Amino acid sequence: MSIDELDRLVEKLDLERKVRLLTGATVWSTHAEPGIGLRAMVTSDGPVGVRGEGWDERSTSLTLPSATALAATWDDELVELLGGLLAGEARRKGVDVLLAPTLNLHRSPLGGRHFECYSEDPLLTGSIGAACVRGVQAGGVAATAKHYVANDSETERLTLDARVDERTLRELYLAPFEAAVEAGVWVVMSAYNGVNGTTMSESPLLADPLKGAWGFDGVVVSDWGGVRSTAPAARAAQDLAMPGPEGTWGEALVAAVRAGEVPEAAIDDKVRRLLRLAARVGALNLTAGTSGALPGPSAQEDPAGSSGREDPARRESPGDTGPGGERGGHEQARALLRRAVAASTVLLRNEGALLPLDPARLRRVAVLGPNAAAPRIQGGGSAGVYPVSVVSPLDGIREALSGTAEVLHRPGPHLDDRPTPLGTDNARDPLTGEPGVLVRLLDAAGAEIHAEHRLTGRILEPARIDAAVTVEIRALLSPEVDGLWELAVAGWGHVRLEADGHVLVDEEVERDTDDPATVHLSPPYRRARFPVTAGRDVELVSRRRLDPGSGIASVLAADPPRRADEVELAAAVELARTCDAVVVVVGSTEECCWCRRCAGTGTSRERS
């Protein structure tokens, strides 16, 4: 759209309506303004997949290799194709803006979010990131270059001030973002951290070099909760504050403009950029409602929902749209993902030409390591998606050697002490008998006001009902072994855990962090041990009170008795001695990949 066309739309809005557009309408969507033909735009986390607006394991996603693996391909063309696959997934889920790629650098091995980043090298990161941008945006979906800039530490990530000299800033940290702008990226996300004394949502670096020297004409969106001031952030080149509807702008920003603290021309530029983005992603209809008086504020939002569109994720499956957006692309998408996994695999050493193994010479093969049976295929936290299915290394090797060799597994020492949420493999809904759990919302009197079947005991987002006071997760645990099982409940506020009517946990858990990822995704566990008998169901019930500001995540978990690490290691060594070949699968855990509670001390990496 031309500047004149954008200006004509901006002129139709009074100050209140313009400012209203600059803060999100919900956690994941922007405001609509039907009077100028603007619908809401929906955002979604990336970069290994498109989760959509919420956290629901029933809404699955195609899952790419980690960003670091993609950089290891050194293949811009392949990554551009994968960007097209992400665009197809975004359209399937009704998403307009994908919050990816992450262009920060691997500057320290203690970084808890490196799985989202491409590499330690700014040239490689810029090249691969630009390819991702081109692929996503060729599909009509906005890519987001994040987190601008020098957001390379999880330690004190919300408040860290990165002191960086000019040459290092330009040649390392800014370089990948410049490459993304040259590739035509439509959105850039400002980071939580500060650079040289100024938090990034207020930083002069947003104006120059980003919008000035580089000529970026898109939208600068904040990291979620990253706008911490009214006038300073508004005077800067920060355009959109997420999430909404609360925030530091709104009425306070209207007052700041009227008081002369923020020029209205700055507001107009932000709105102009937002409308340009809407035109690019198809969220601006210039033929609808662009003449005459605008409706009042109460008529602004489309009653169809936050995006004003039906969410096709409820009726299509991952891969129904292929990498180029065509229908019936499941097999094509699967083939592209397999190609990406193969291309990202790096053979570091092959002494004595050991590889490839000759199946004809194998009779017994040992596969060792807990990750062999339960692989960690992605990082945790906000980047997580729910894959359609996962093929473990153990299952893959067994299939490859089926009819040829016996494949045996030993986990060895246990890597992760976090409880394991219930799943379809060990729990049943007590109401229907289906694999999974029953989630109920209760009112202040304890009466049920909503119930639904879920597939996991990790419920990050139960249904949102205003009258709900308590989240309850109920399941029949089907233990395979006798002994003292470790049972656990996670959540903030008051939590309670029962097993067969016995109260095991009844405790107040005080919130001790302001980190949104920890509050909403990683609430603390409270644990207890309970004796069970193999083959005899145990009814588990967890409840947590929904206190304001405490998030809504709840977890019900259970783990069988574990042998000592020394015993498991000895068993793995003994198995290896009796086999023709040994495959050792190593890797991280969710706690090692993403641990907000440990990031301040480096604990998560020290444990790995």
* Planar angle of CA 472, 473, 479, nearest 5 degrees: 150
- Sequence-distant (≥ 6) Cβ neighbours of residue 81 within 8 angstroms: 135, 323, 336
Q: Taking a C-beta distance cutoff of 8 angstroms, is the pair 17, 9 a contact? A: no
Taking the CA of residue 263 as centre, how many other CA atoms within 13 Å lie in the half-sphere pointing to its CB?
Answer: 7
* Longest Cα–Cα distance in the chain: 83
Beta strands in 443-579 (DSSP E): 448-454, 458-459, 470-477, 483-490, 493-499, 502-509, 525-532, 538-545, 554-559
Which residue bears the tokens 């955002």?
A: 43
Identify each DSSP E strand in 125-235 by its residue range. Answer: 142-148, 161-162, 187-190, 194-195, 198-199, 219-222
* One-letter amino acid for residue 593 of the chain: C
The H or E element that residue 367 is part of is: strand 364-368
Distance CA 301, CA 41 (A): 12
Bridge-based pairing of strands 142-148 and 187-190 is parallel
One-letter amino acid for residue 599 of the chain? A
Q: Using an 8 Å Cβ cutoff, are 520 and 491 in contact?
A: no
Residue 557 bridge partners (DSSP): 421, 488
Measured between alpha carbons, how far is 345 from 57 in angstroms, rounded to an integer?
Answer: 28
- Sheet with 458-459, strands from edge to edge, namely 458-459, 554-559, 483-490, 525-532
217 among known catalytic residues: no
Contacts of 258 (CB under 8 A, 6+ apart): 15
Sequence-distant (6+) residues with CB within 8 A of 89 are 49, 50, 61, 62, 95, 318, 321
Q: Which of 45, 75, 152, 223 is catalytic?
A: 223
| Amino acid of residue 111 | G
Helix axes 264-281, 250-258, angle to 10 degrees: 140
Work out the number of other CB atoms within 10 angstroms of the CB of residue 236.
Answer: 23
Distance CA 526, CA 506 (A): 9
Torsion sign across C-alpha atoms 512, 386, 52, 237 = positive
Structure tokens at 252: 């306070």
Type of residue at 77? E
CA distance 470 to 152: 38
Active site residues: 223
